[in-house]
A = this chain, B = another copy of it.
Amino acid sequence: MKHVPTFIAGILAAGVIGTAAIGDGHADKATLSAVKARQSLMSLQAFNIGLLGGMAKGDVEYDAAAASAAAGNLAALATMDQSRMWPPGSDNATLGDDVTEALPAIWSADSKIGADAMALAEATAALQAAAGEGLDALRGAIGPVGKACGSCHETYRQAKN
């Protein structure tokens, strides 16, 4: 989890190094690249949690090696340094809901996104250890990962209409 503090620091310090969106409602290229990067990261998370969720629900046959690999990917993704992926001005109020669902609250002074990121890193590390140890172990460890995903999404993601 060594990158998590960097992630938090990155969010907080982003005002210094971040590339802000241009004020006329159009985002600059660097901002859109950052949005694309974090969306790519979440797409990879969804791809891996999707398999594990399918196994946990019984929709996909449990396979220890595949479960372990997917959980290992989630753990690796959770430790990635995301500081450049969340520049100020990359929220949905600035860029529009069609570009990003990231709410401005992410960048607020009392943002809990660092704690959410840490919870996800801890939950995925536990899932990585458990996923290959049988279906019951997988089922026991996947809940906290889903909870970490949901906690962040409920607070910091624009709800779908």
Which A residues contact B (CB, under 8 angstroms)?
A: 3, 6, 17, 33-34, 36-37, 39-41, 43-44, 47, 50-51, 63, 65-66, 69-70, 72-73, 76-77, 79-81, 83-85
Contacts and interface: CB of A to CB of B under 8 A. Distances in A.
Contacts of A72: 3, 80-81
Contacts of A66: 17, 83-84
Which 8 pairs of residues, A with B, have the shortest CB-CB distance? A40-B40, A69-B81, A37-B47, A40-B43, A76-B76, A40-B44, A73-B80, A73-B81
A17 B65 CA distance: 12
Given A37-B44, A40-B40, A47-B84, 12 more contacts: A3-B72, A6-B69, A37-B47, A40-B43, A47-B85, A66-B84, A69-B81, A70-B84, A73-B80, A73-B81, A76-B80, A77-B80
